[in-house]
A and B are shown apart, each in its own frame.
Chain A
Amino acid sequence: MRLRSLMRRSTGEQASSRFVGVSRRQFFGSAAGLAVGAGLGTTLAAQHGNPHTDAQPKPIPGGVSPFGVMIHHFPSPPAGTPLADHPEPSQITDFNGFVGLNRIRGGGSGTGFPSLAYQADMGFMVGEYIAMDGRHYHGAFGFI
């Protein structure tokens, strides 16, 4: 399973950047069977009272490309990097609001694994954004 595998990888290679991921399909709500993103997307549309709007935010233009797949995210830099050199911390564009981002390593335990190591990047965005439908919205997003 992914959670366990990532713990192993993180312990052995210190290469994993997170424990868990939400797929692009989930975020854009285009796939059946993955309930979280689709449900939240529906909520976003519904809260603005129009099922035909698309309140999903647009991704930033750049990012990183592990395995050749573009991820619209710039990881936090190595320790010691001047704050002024920090790359774009937001994952969404046309955005005006609060952001937070971090990178943390730590330990824990899991089923059958009394000692595990992890590395995680997590963040948030809260504020105004212009969505896919060109309209202005206020919302909160997590990078997990």
Chain B
Amino acid sequence: MFWTIPVPRDAVDVHLGAGRARFRLSTSIPDDHDLQASITEVFPAGFPQLAEVTFDVEWSGILDRAHIRNVAQNFEGQFLQTGSTIQWSAFNPVSGFQFASEGPDPTRVIYAMIGHERNGVFFQ
């Protein structure tokens, strides 16, 4: 599994009926130096390093609704396309590098959705 981690339950807040959700977390994650290194796990010398990140991701504003049943991918559910914003910051204490995103900007979203689904054995 890639980039998927268990998070505290209270990091996620979902109000599907209202078309809203929020995912907030401060945690430590590895700074792998670059995307290819992260994927291939062939790291430059000295990496990975542990970095601290904080983010606040929000979904809101219903744009569309759909029931999706996808037999090929083995899932089904009720979904909402929504707006979304991200606010992000990161700090690598080893290198001192830090990043802060701009404030939440709803015009920056390319695609966002929330929903309730069942897949795998729950789909069959």
By a beta-carbon cutoff of 8 Å, the part of chain A in contact with chain B is: 1-7, 9, 16-28, 34-37, 40-41, 43-44, 56-62, 66-67, 69, 71-74, 76-79, 81-84, 86-112, 116, 118-120, 122-124, 126, 128, 130, 139-144
CA distance in complex: A66, B27 (Å): 26
Binding site of A, secondary structure by majority: helix, strand, loop or mixed?
Answer: mixed
Distance to closest chain B CB from A44 (angstroms): 6
Partner of A100, one of B97, B114, B120: B114
Q: Are A26 and B5 in contact (CB under 8 A)?
A: yes
Q: List, in ascending order, chain B residues with CB within 8 A of A17's CB.
A: 35
Q: Are A95 and B68 in contact (CB under 8 A)?
A: no
Residue total for B at the interface (Cβ-Cβ under 8 A): 82
Closest residue of chain B to A34 (Cβ to Cβ) is: B30
A-B contacts at CB below 8 angstroms, number: 308
Distance to closest chain B CB from A139 (angstroms): 6
Across the A-B interface, give the 3 residue pairs with the lowest CB-CB distance, nearest first: A94-B120, A102-B112, A93-B120
Q: Which of B1-45 contact A (CB under 8 A)?
A: 1-9, 11-12, 14, 16, 21, 23, 25, 27-41
CA distance in complex: A72, B75 (Å): 14
Distance to closest chain A CB from B12 (angstroms): 5
Distance to closest chain B CB from A12 (angstroms): 13
Q: Are B28 and A36 in contact (CB under 8 A)?
A: yes
CA distance in complex: A140, B4 (Å): 10
CA distance in complex: A86, B68 (Å): 8
Take A88-B70, A124-B12 as given contacts and tell me if A83 and B57 are in contact as well, using a CB distance cutoff of 8 Å.
no
Q: List, in ascending order, chain B residues with CB within 8 A of A21's CB.
A: 2-3, 29-30, 32, 35, 38-39
